[in-house]
Amino acid sequence: MKVSGQTLTPMFKQYLQAKQEYPDALLLFRLGDFYELFGEDAKTASRVLELTLTGREIGKGNRVPMCGVPHHAVEKYLARLLAAGYRAAICEQVEDPALAKGLVRRQVVRVVTPGTVVEDELLPATQANYLASLAPGHQGVGLAWAEVSTGEFVATEFEGGEATQEALAEMARLGPSECLLPGWLEELDPWRGRVEGTGASVALLDGARYVGEDPGDRLQQHLGVASLQGFGLGDAPLAVEAAANVVRYLEFAHPEALGHLKRLRRYSRTAYMRLDSAALRNLEIFASLPGGRREFTLIGVLDRTCTPMGARLLREWLSRPLMELAGIERRLEAVAELAGRAGVREQLRQTLRQLGDLERLCGRLCAGKGGPRDVVALRFALERTPAIKELLAGCEAPLLRGLGEQMEPLQDLTDSVARALVESPPVSPNEGGLVRDGYSRELDTLRTTSRDAKQWIANLEARERERTRIKSLKVGYNQVFGYYVEISKANLDLAPPEYIRKQTLSNAERFYTPELKEREAQVLGAEDKIRALEYEIFCQLREQVRQHAEQMQTTAAALAAIDVLANLAELAVENDYCRPQVNEGAEVTIGAGRHPVIEKALTGRRFVPNDTLLNDADRQLLIITGPNMAGKSTYLRQVGLIVLMAQVGSFVPAKQATIGIVDSIFTRVGAHDELATGQSTFMVEMTETANILNNATPRSLVLIDEIGRGTSTYDGLSIAWAVAEALYEDPQLRAKTLFATHYHQLNYLGDTLERAKNLRVAVKEEEDGVVFLYRIVEGGTDRSYGIQVAKLAGLPAEVVERAKRVLWGLEKEKPVGDPTAPPPPPSRPVQLTLFQIEGSPVLEELRKADAENMTPLEALNLLHRLKGMLDGGRPKRR
């Protein structure tokens, strides 16, 4: 900030000193009841927050722009600043202005950033708010993340040539609100662009602060350990650096929150199914396409949790399905037991609804941000855990019993809070009236003194009216003059001589007496001491909470898991889901599978279920053809969602399901562009396809819905054909694949490849139209019914008729512009194919056959002969 001249006010010098320490944040400087911003910060804030921009004299010849917000409403303004991508440094008064000698001392007490907030007003209740940290190196990339409001702290490391891509894919899955990058990176700008592409706000660490500091030593110091081996990080230097940078940043931005991050764990990527950003988007797990309503997503259907922490954990489970069979089975056993025991399930859910958000309550209190109501809410939550613990002790599923054993009611803590705080305390710990009578002898004495003095003052008015015979005499109080006796000017001659004049009004005089002054001192002095003592008691309770933070984190994690399991059991019963049989085999078998979202969205219609069989022997590649709107995309997505739900540990929407564990789900679905990054629709399509071919394995599930539609017909068909062959033939791929396409020529692959099969969506033809049956059946088709779908969509009749004429002309190789071309016969509308077969010998043979007089053996021989003619004597490719 530029200011002219040499003379600045002491207050503004103090402001400039604080601003120099936090140049990249908007500095909110506390002045009385307002947080003020100056200079460029004020201009920015006035624009973003729609505040009136004023000015302030800061010395002789110097005036700067200024705006401010009330201190009691700062949270709502901070939320708007964070949403706009800004950081804010809170410069607070750190001494009582009444006791300060000269200028009140101020200092920055925290920096509010997107990834470090703990206040309820600034956080999404049902979604984690991650602060991520990337540490790129020559041999790989380190990644760490923390959820400051709950205490989650995780680190991992990616190695090899795909390290950058894998780290960014993990970032996309996490969806952090803020990501730290070392400011000393050689390729800082490219990394900044990659991170911003994931939607995270980028924060840079200043390397000058950490010259000569070893990241491992810094992390060990924070965790209070002599080695990182116990955290599984002894051989992961980049993960250690990323985690150390989280600690460094919080030390700068929010030091109070550091005490909550003591349970660092290493994240094993091989323990979870891989879901990249394309899969999360195309399967509509958390957001519907394009950016629609939450109820049309998987999380919208599956989230019936009773607590915010359960809702957050459900999101985590859906984004990280398990790969370990034992872990999946433990969850399925727990869900099965709760689904079969309605009474236990309902009691659990009723109790869980009363808990609130124990995770974030603990986080706020440990960060020094919680108030008396948070402490009482914490007590109420902990008091309900014994009932849940008792219910789980009677269960048979090992996971349920284990979760019950993890919970610690912390009886001493709840008893302390119950004895100390009233049931409905005030919001602020400085207001008074939050500690129960009988908890502190000193506090009770002060309250007695205050009450007696107030009672004396309350009785004073009646006594003085009777003594002075002044019926209009009043005893009152204001914050400036304290207690007073007020007498109207008409009755001044009746004022007793011991009354001492205090204030003159237009129609009255105010007085005090030595005794009134003494009682006033008793009241005000006692109230100041009461508030100070109550605040001290509250701080002691908050410190007691901090000392039990680790046990409460464990209890909260167990309660969240119980909430999710009971939620999945409730959904299984309500929606008629079945328990999947999960194994380590290579087959996916689904009987009467349904799309969990679409079946809930249908009104007045029944969802048509479909079977699925995928394996490595003879059904590895399924070529699916059929018209638009007939259900190909729904079928692909429902298979992906059923597999995902099974590996989450949920029951699935089907009559029966056997799921061989898959290591990843890859999708290439729909058409969309990313013009902001210079990628056309076709470029996005090819990028997603390349990702599949470069990363899929024989244990992957690949869902492809149309490849090559964004370019010319021959180019598109060639690409689709080559991709299908690569997924079939490349021994490094050979993924189980559902390949939906409008290129009917790909049916040739299903006919000639041993591990490939053709499927089609069944339709019923009617006069000049079709009825979609939404059934997936064996065999391919050579029709798309595009003109019929266009008619259903509402294209004008003349356009539909013209399309029919053009199609007829193209099929008969007539000029498209020939106005005399008749429409094609309405009974057999056929869309253009590239390889038209004329005069088929198979059809001629069928026409000659005498079907009515043919014996069964003759019919079988005919069928065998016709099949040989179709195959042309060629054996299927393996």
Contact 635, 771 (CB under 8 A): no
Residue 107: what residue type?
A: Q
Can you tell me the distance from the alpha carbon of 163 to that of 137, in angstroms, rounded to the nearest whole number? Answer: 10
Between residues 450 and 569, the one the model is more confident about: 569
Can you tell me the distance from the alpha carbon of 832 to that of 22, in angstroms, rounded to the nearest whole number? Answer: 66
**Residue 857: pLDDT over 60:** yes
**DSSP H helix total and E strand total for the chain:** 28, 27
Q: Which of 612-616, 674-678, 722-726, 857-861 has the lowest mean pLDDT?
A: 674-678
Arithmetic mean of pLDDT over the chain: 87
Contact 418, 379 (CB under 8 A): yes
Q: Which residues pair with 322 in a beta bridge?
A: 272
Bond before 290 cis per omega within 30 degrees: yes
Residue with tokens 């393996």: 878
For residue 270 the two structure tokens come to: 């091989």
For 58-92, give the DSSP string.
EETTEEEEEEEEEGGGHHHHHHHHHHTT--EEEEE
Share above pLDDT 70 across residues of the chain, in percent, rounded to a whole number? 91
For residue 707 the two structure tokens come to: 């490849």
**Residue 828: pLDDT over 50:** no
| Mean pLDDT (whole number) for 507-526 | 89
Q: Which residues pair with 622 in a beta bridge?
A: 738, 757
Between residues 439 and 841, the one the model is more confident about: 439
| Mean pLDDT (whole number) for 491-509 | 92
Residue 255 confidence (pLDDT): 86
Contact 348, 407 (CB under 8 A): no
Gyration radius of the chain over CA positions: 37
Can you tell me the distance from the alpha carbon of 156 to that of 243, in angstroms, rounded to the nearest whole number? Answer: 9
Can you tell me the distance from the alpha carbon of 559 to that of 308, in angstroms, rounded to the nearest whole number? Answer: 11
Q: Provide the phi-psi class of 828: left if phi over 0, else alpha when psi is between -120 and 50, else beta.
A: beta
User: What is the reported pTM?
Assistant: 0.83
Residue with tokens 């303004």: 77
pLDDT digits over 393-440, tens only?
999 999 999 999 999 989 999 999 999 999 999 988 888 889 999 999
Tell me how long the chain is.
878
For residue 811 the two structure tokens come to: 């099929």
**Residue 374: pLDDT over 50:** yes
For residue 576 the two structure tokens come to: 């008629």
pLDDT digits over 36-51, tens only?
999 999 999 999 999 9
Can you tell me the distance from the alpha carbon of 109 to that of 101, in angstroms, rounded to the nearest whole number? Answer: 21
Q: Where are the alpha helices (DSSP H) in 669-817?
A: 681-695, 713-729, 747-752, 786-793, 797-811
**Residue 648: pLDDT over 60:** yes
3-state secondary structure of 572: helix
| Mean pLDDT (whole number) for 669-680 | 58
Residue 770 confidence (pLDDT): 66
**Residue 660: pLDDT over 90:** yes
| Mean pLDDT (whole number) for 589-611 | 92
Residue 811 confidence (pLDDT): 64
**Residue 709: pLDDT over 90:** no
Q: Which of 132-136, 409-413, 564-568 has the lowest mean pLDDT?
A: 409-413
Residue 785 confidence (pLDDT): 66
**Residue 768: pLDDT over 70:** no
| Mean pLDDT (whole number) for 56-63 | 82
